[in-house]
């Protein structure tokens, strides 16, 4: 199993856990848990593969990804009631899933010889779209769109780091490791220290 496949497996597992935690907050049944977990787990990677014309889509070629997502859903369904603050678990697991998925997306695009712009966009797409789908379907405020919060900007910076490190001639392990580390460090800083981007505030028109 190559490094990119390992990254996909890791991101699927952790994103599936976040999807199941959101399903627990929405008080869904077991089928709902499995659906939301798998949607979150493979959503970003599916869009990535379709945009890159990569066939088959990663989870179609390897259905084990869906089994992992379903297994994560069952685990959370049976244990979520033991967790005191599911939201805290959600945001921290999501931060790890984001950084792993961004690295996976950039790694796939780099392996296909895509330009730097496409590499960055695929990293953002892979890292952000699954969680966005999860939150929209479960009627949660998307973490991606929370006011001023560092999220897409973390994915962007991590993916840009991968492009720069790759062009400096470093190997895949260092390139994708740097991508994941930078992405997670920014996201963790946002959660721990309240790092935010400035937000637009409208002003009344002059009379």
Model confidence, pTM = 0.92
Structure tokens given for 190: 């946002």
3-state secondary structure of 20: helix
Structure tokens given for 126: 């892979």
Determine the pLDDT at residue 179: 98
Determine the pLDDT at residue 206: 67
CA angle 147, 151, 152 (to 5 degrees): 105
Given a cut of 90, whether residue 200 has pLDDT beyond it is: no
Largest CA distance in the chain: 66
Rg of the chain over all Cα atoms, to the nearest angstrom:
17
> What percent of the chain shows pLDDT beyond 70?
97
Determine the pLDDT at residue 76: 96
DSSP string, 47-109: HHHHHTT-SS-HHHH-THHHHHHHHHHHHHHHHGGG-S-HHHHHHHHHHHHHHHHHHHHHHHH
Q: Which DSSP category does 138 fall into? A: T
Given a cut of 90, whether residue 86 has pLDDT beyond it is: no
| Sequence ranges of the domains in the chain | 3-193
Counted residue by residue, the chain has a size of 207
Given a cut of 90, whether residue 100 has pLDDT beyond it is: yes
**Per-residue pLDDT tens digits for 108-123:** 999 999 999 999 999 9
The mean pLDDT value of the chain amounts to 93
Determine the pLDDT at residue 154: 97
């Amino acid at each position: 199993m190559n490094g990119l496949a390992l990254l996909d497996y890791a991101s699927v597992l952790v994103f599936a856990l976040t999807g199941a935690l959101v399903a627990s907050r929405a008080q869904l049944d077991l089928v709902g848990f499995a659906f939301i977990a798998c949607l979150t787990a493979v959503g970003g990677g599916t869009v990535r593969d379709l945009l890159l014309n990569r066939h088959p889509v990663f989870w179609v070629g390897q259905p084990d990804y869906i089994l992992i997502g379903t297994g994560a859903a069952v685990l959370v369904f049976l244990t979520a009631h033991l967790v005191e603050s599911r939201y805290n678990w959600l945001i921290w697991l999501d931060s790890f899933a984001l950084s792993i998925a961004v690295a996976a997306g950039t790694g796939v695009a780099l392996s296909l010889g895509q330009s730097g712009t496409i590499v960055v966009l695929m990293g953002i797409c892979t890292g952000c779209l699954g969680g966005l789908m999860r939150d929209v379907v479960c009627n949660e405020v998307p973490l991606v769109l929370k006011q001023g919060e560092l999220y897409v900007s973390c994915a962007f910076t991590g993916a840009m780091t991968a492009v720069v490190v790759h062009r400096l001639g470093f190997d895949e392990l260092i390139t994708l490791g740097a991508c994941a580390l930078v992405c997670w460090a920014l996201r963790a800083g946002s959660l721990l220290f309240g790092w935010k981007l400035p937000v637009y505030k409208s002003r009344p028109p002059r009379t």
